[in-house]
């Protein structure tokens, strides 16, 4: 029974007892869960599921994970420890950040302890996948999932790879496809409401001992640009904008870092980043996690920690749904409700902050910087309120303060 007939079928059965999970597909074996996507969120979800005793497969379209990733790789210390993330992927630590206003007024914030780590995404992604595999996940690389068919008793994927085209069935599908939304569309889950664009280069930069953030309409309208030290002289330099990422990044390097970045014609890589979550992140026998669900900070575009948190919630909900033998959309909606309870307020505040910030002129930003520079107490309060992964506290504080200053 295809998706199109599913709605009327569900209505007919609404009054009846719970779903029987008996598998009448004529196949000998069917996975409990298939995870689509071998990024950090897909691998972590597969790891947790396999660790809980589920029979899990993971399909990843690339032959190797972590190879074509465009990411600065910053992950807060708290989630890093909480999710026991791979230490061997750490390239550097962030303990201090300097912000520069449009006219280069500098504000340095130094924290008592490390606030975040910068990782090598190739090592990071590979290690998370290895852990999932070690727990028993059947990993299939070089397998592109083309479509999903949702049926009453199972979901079926059409999978293609080198010289291969086949169908795979599972009781539940977890979509962790990052910024690729074609499968969501195929099961009628609307796309994320918008996108930002991240453009980045990796090169040598002189005198970069701590993370630097640059603001200003010329450099990065309504948003920010960054330079993050890795190891030795290596650095990641990037911008987060609404469009023309490459253009803004070139301008940023030319206007702000010319004396410190010597390498010419450095390759610029760009990628769109989800801005705002999907309206709904579950369907009958389907859950969406990570960037695929738009679980990305609306302030910075960071998606790893929120995605990992939502993986945990998804797995807890799935455990209960399997126990109750109920994999209906209604039951899986617990996931949708629970992750929104944790993160939706943050996403909304980030959006408000961005709208507020977009209206500020360079003069306004300079004025705010001068004010904080002269008021040590305010700078101290900012340091104390700063939380790497939850920005709503500092946003409320900042917006109230800035309204008084400008
Ligand atoms: C310039 C830039 C800087 C960033 N910096 C940071 C940062 O510092 N910190 C942070 O937390 N986040 C950052 N992000 C965002 C971060 O990279 C993403 O949020 C994160 O990678 C999301 O992980 P994911 O597992 O959900 O998706 P992804 O990492 O995108 O993984 C999805 C996987 O699914 C696979 N896939 C997709 N479709 C299919 C299919 N149909 N069949 C099979 N496989 C499929 C893809 O090949 C991919 O491997 C940055 C993004 C950009 C662009």
Please state, in angstroms and rounded to a whole number, the distance separating the CA atoms of residues 189 and 58: 21
Q: Which of 74, 164, 303, 343 to mutate to test the pocket of ligand 1 (most atoms within 8 A of CB)?
A: 303
pLDDT of residue 46: 98
Q: What are 165's strand-pairing partners?
A: 160
pLDDT of residue 23: 34
Sign of CA dihedral 332, 333, 339, 341: negative
36 in a structural domain: yes
pLDDT in tens, 330-369: 999 999 999 999 999 999 999 999 999 999 999 999 999 9
pLDDT of residue 27: 44
Contact 305, 75 (CB under 8 A): yes
258 in a structural domain: no
- Output the CA 14–ligand 1 centroid distance in Å: 38
- Give how far Cα 58 sits from Cα of 122, 175, 328, Å: 18, 10, 22
202 in a structural domain: no
pLDDT of residue 406: 80
Whether ligand 1 lies within 6 angstroms of the CB of 95 is answered as no
- Give how far Cα 261 sits from Cα of 215, 253, 256, 316, Å: 19, 7, 10, 47
Please state, in angstroms and rounded to a whole number, the distance separating the CA atoms of residues 31 and 167: 13
Please state, in angstroms and rounded to a whole number, the distance separating the CA atoms of residues 212 and 98: 5
pTM: 0.93
Report the domain count for the chain: 1
Whether ligand 1 lies within 6 angstroms of the CB of 245 is answered as no
Q: Which of 58, 160, 177 to mutate to test the pocket of ligand 1 (most atoms within 8 A of CB)?
A: 177
Helix (H) or strand (E) holding 4: helix 3-13
8 in a structural domain: yes
Encode 114-183 in three state secondary structure: CCEEEECHHHHHHHHHHHHHHCCCEEEECEEEEEEEECCCCEEEEEEECCEEEEEEEEEEEECCCCCCHH
Kindly state the tokens that stand for 31: 């996975």
Per-residue pLDDT in tens (0 to 9) along the chain, 406 residues: 444 444 444 444 433 333 333 333 334 579 999 999 999 999 999 999 999 999 999 999 999 999 989 999 999 999 999 999 999 999 999 999 999 999 999 999 999 999 999 999 999 999 999 999 999 999 999 999 999 999 999 999 999 998 899 999 999 999 999 999 999 999 999 889 999 999 999 999 999 999 999 999 999 999 999 999 999 999 999 999 999 999 999 999 999 999 999 899 999 999 999 999 999 999 999 999 999 999 999 999 999 999 999 999 999 999 999 999 999 999 999 999 999 999 999 999 999 999 999 999 999 999 999 999 999 999 999 988 899 999 999 999 988 888 888 8
| CATH number of the domain where residue 42 is located | 3.50.50.60
Ramachandran assignment for 313, one of left (phi > 0), alpha (psi -120 to 50 degrees), beta (any other): alpha
Of the candidates 211, 56, 228, the one whose C-alpha atom is nearest the C-alpha of residue 139 is 56
Whether ligand 1 lies within 6 angstroms of the CB of 144 is answered as yes
| 241 Cα distance to chain centroid | 17
- Output the CA 242–ligand 1 centroid distance in Å: 18
Q: Where are the beta strands (DSSP E) in 210-265?
A: 211-214, 224-229, 234-241
Whether ligand 1 lies within 6 angstroms of the CB of 180 is answered as yes
pLDDT of residue 61: 97
Q: What residue numbers bound the domain in which 176 lies?
A: 3-68+122-192+277-352
Whether ligand 1 lies within 6 angstroms of the CB of 86 is answered as no
Please state, in angstroms and rounded to a whole number, the distance separating the CA atoms of residues 296 and 273: 8
Contact 237, 248 (CB under 8 A): no
- Output the CA 69–ligand 1 centroid distance in Å: 7
Is residue 106 classed as helix, strand or coil in its secondary structure? strand
pLDDT of residue 28: 53
> What atom of ligand 1 comes closest to residue 304's alpha carbon?
11
205 in a structural domain: no
199 in a structural domain: no
Contact 121, 73 (CB under 8 A): yes
Helix, strand, coil abundance in the chain, percent, nearest 5: 40, 25, 35
158 in a structural domain: yes
366 in a structural domain: no
Residue 321: CA atoms inside 13 Å, Cβ hemisphere, count? Answer: 28
Instruction: Name residue, tokens 């920005």.
Output: 391
């Amino acid at each position: 029974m295809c998706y199109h007939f599913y709605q009327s079928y569900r209505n007919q059965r609404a009054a009846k007892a719970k779903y029987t999970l008996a598998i009448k597909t004529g196949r000998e074996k069917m996975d409990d869960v298939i995870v689509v996507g071998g990024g950090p969120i897909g691998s972590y979800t597969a790891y947790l599921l396999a660790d809980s005793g589920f029979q899990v497969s993971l399909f990843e379209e690339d032959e190797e994970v972590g190879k074509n990733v465009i990411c600065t790789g910053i992950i807060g210390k708290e989630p890093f420890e909480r999710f026991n993330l791979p230490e061997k992927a750490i390239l550097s630590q962030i303990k201090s950040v300097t912000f520069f206003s449009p006219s280069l007024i500098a504000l340095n914030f130094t924290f008592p302890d490390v606030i975040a780590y910068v990782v090598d995404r190739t090592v990071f992604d590979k290690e998370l996948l290895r852990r999932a595999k070690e727990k028993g996940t059947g990993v299939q690389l070089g397998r592109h999932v083309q479509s999903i068919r949702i049926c009453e008793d199972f979901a079926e994927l059409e999978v293609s790879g080198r010289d291969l085209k086949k169908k795979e069935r599972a009781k539940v599908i977890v979509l962790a496809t990052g910024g690729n939304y074609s499968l969501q569309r195929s099961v009628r889950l609307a796309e994320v409401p918008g996108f930002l664009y991240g453009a980045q280069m990796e090169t040598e930069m002189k005198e970069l001992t701590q993370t630097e953030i640059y603001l200003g309409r010329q450099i990065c309208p309504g948003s920010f640009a960054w330079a993050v030290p890795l190891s030795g002289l290596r650095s990641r330099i990037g911008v987060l904008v609404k469009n023309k990422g490459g253009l803004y990044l070139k301008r940023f390097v030319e206007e702000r870092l010319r004396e410190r970045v010597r390498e010419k014609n450095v390759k610029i890589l760009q990628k769109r980043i989800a801005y705002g979550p999907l309206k709904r992140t579950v369907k009958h026998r389907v859950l969406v996690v990570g960037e695929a669900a738009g679980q990305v900070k609306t302030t910075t575009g960071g998606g790893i920690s929120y995605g990992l948190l939502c993986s945990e919630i998804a797995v807890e909900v799935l455990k209960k749904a399997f126990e109750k033998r109920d994999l209906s959309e209604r039951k899986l909606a617990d996931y949708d409700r629970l992750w929104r309870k944790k993160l939706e307020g943050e996403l909304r505040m980030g959006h408000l902050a961005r709208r507020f910030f977009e209206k500020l002129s360079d003069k306004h930003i300079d004025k705010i910087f001068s004010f904080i520079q002269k008021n040590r107490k305010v700078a101290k309060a900012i340091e104390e309120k700063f939380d790497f992964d939850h920005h709503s506290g500092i946003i409320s504080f900042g917006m109230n303060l800035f309204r008084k200053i400008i």
